[in-house]
Structure 1
Amino acid sequence: MIARISAAFAVMVSLVANANAGVAPRVEIAFNNGAETVTANHSIKEPLAAQHLSSRLVDDAKNSIQPFDQTLELQGIRFHVTTALIDGNPVLYITPQGLEIDNSKVTHPLTGNIVRAEVADLDRDGSPEVYVFIRSSGRGMAGELVAYSANRKKSLSEIYLPPVSDNPKTAEGYQGEDEFAVTENALVQRFPVYDGADAGSGRTEKMRQVQYRLIPGEAGWVLRVSKVTED
């Protein structure tokens, strides 16, 4: 498990490095879900701003957004993940294909770059989910997850990831800079730990890793913390 997580984050570091050099790489990552193995072609990128971005920083982030176009497929369901400009504002589109009832595309506003997108079946119910990982560069900039589940392969329902601040113990020393990855049957969030919450706090040598499992919620799906570790 640790080896897979390390490998996943190594791929993410490589993607970010290439992105800073102005390259839009394509990386093939295999997802193994029981008897079905799916290969997804990954390109780059996109970050979503943290809670207290000034309007100027938001405008700067919008101007720096890079295009993203990737198709992911698992268990007979396809997800086309793209970015576009609508009235000068960047948006994320997720267009499903193969659902029995509703294949309407969903739209989210963007203020940054997509780091990566993945498909998985974390709850092993035979219907896939799509996860789009968004991150802003710089200290204090929180990552964001946009995710949807294909309910019994009929339509999409949003997956909710609670903010780190909901758990005081997990949030201690948190200042954004998140990394996300799907590993086996869990979503993993990883971030550096600071010695305080204010802007003058120093970064410790520790990294905190939060593992989530996917469960049904009242109006969709929820990622619930199952394990927190530090190294």
Structure 2
Amino acid sequence: MKKSQTILLALFGTLTIIACKNEQRKTSDTQIENSDASQKEIPVETEIKTIFQKTLTLQNISFNVKNTGEGSISELSIQPKGLEIDNQEIITELDGQVVNAEIEDLNSDGFPEILIYTVSAGSGAYGNVIAYSVNNGKSISQISFPAFSEGDEASVGYMGHDEFAIVETSLVRRFPIYKAGDSNNAPTGGTRQIQYKLIDGEASRVFVIDKTSTY
């Protein structure tokens, strides 16, 4: 009787040890599977939306203009090529986005100017010009574009919706004129056109108003 009990106890102990080893093996296999699954996870790359891209070339100097982003804030990059000294990329943040870009030798010095037209976010779509001038073929400097000041005759009735274009060697700006009580989408005051000339300022080249007309 004692011998039978001893055999049963030994058999029970053996089965217990085998069951524990099987459980440990299952736990280990699960850990390996989870580790493999973790290693196989690939991060999702966020694609940056290109709003505007254009390459402009004049007088053997080119500019690649690229505007990327979403929402009200975007990024503008300008990559010059063909300059003798400094072809460093220019990157700046915009409150809005680029709508067009043009190139022309506005001051007839044998080297181009690059003009980039932007509009702000929102219903007003207020326009701005970001411009650079080539310095004797070696580098570029930013051109100052004047903002409207309170009381400027040219700004009377202005509420955005600008259009810009190079006409011969001048920068032309057009926008609708709003009268008191006009809604944003229904101006009744006609159109104002402002013509800017590029001149050498004290610190840099600047755009100045040359002519203003209303029709």
80, 88, 92: which one pairs with 1:96?
80
Q: Which moved more, 1:144-153 or 1:159-168?
A: 159-168
Deviation at 1:144, TM superposition (A): 1.1
Greater strand content: 1
Greater helix content: 2
Deviation at 1:66, TM superposition (A): 4.8
Corresponding residue of 1:109: 93
2:61 aligned partner, one-letter code: I
Corresponding residue of 2:213: 229
Deviation at 1:142, TM superposition (A): 1.3
1:163 aligns to what SS in structure 2?
A: coil
Distance 2:138 2:164 in 1: 27
Corresponding residue of 1:172: 156
Distance 1:198 1:66, change over 3 A: farther
Distance 1:201 1:90 in 2: 25
1:208 aligns to what SS in structure 2?
A: strand
Distance 1:200 1:213, change over 3 A: closer
1:194 aligns to what SS in structure 2?
A: coil
Deviation at 1:196, TM superposition (A): 4.0
Corresponding residue of 1:147: 131
Q: Which has the higher contact order (CA 8 A, sep 6+)?
A: 1
Distance 1:151 1:177 in 2: 32
Aligned residue pairs: how many? 165
Corresponding residue of 1:135: 119
56, 66, 80: which one pairs with 2:64?
80
Corresponding residue of 2:110: 126
* Runs of at least 4 residues off by over 3 Å: 136-141, 196-202
Distance 1:178 1:189 in 2: 7
Structure 1 unpaired stretches of 5+: 1-64
Give the CA RMSD over aligned residues.
2.5
Q: Does 1:161 align with 2:145?
A: yes
1:106 aligned partner, one-letter code: I
Provide the TM-score with structure 2 as the length reference: 0.69
Distance 2:81 2:74 in 1: 23
Structure 1 or 2, whichever has the larger Rg, is: 2
Provide the TM-score with structure 1 as the length reference: 0.65
Contact 1:118–1:182 (CA<8 Å) still a contact in 2? yes
Deviation at 1:130, TM superposition (A): 0.5
Residue by residue, what CA displacement relative to the aligned partner does 1:102-125 show, whole Å, maximum 9, x if unpaired?
A: 111112212322111100011111
Corresponding residue of 2:18: none
Corresponding residue of 1:195: 179
Distance 1:111 1:200 in 2: 20
Distance 2:123 2:191 in 1: 15
Q: Work out the percentage of aligned pairs sharing the same amino acid.
A: 42
Structure 2 unpaired stretches of 5+: 1-48
Contact 2:53–2:66 (CA<8 Å) still a contact in 1? yes
Distance 1:197 1:97 in 2: 49
191, 206, 213: which one pairs with 2:197?
213
Deviation at 1:204, TM superposition (A): 1.8
Contact 1:175–1:197 (CA<8 Å) still a contact in 2? no
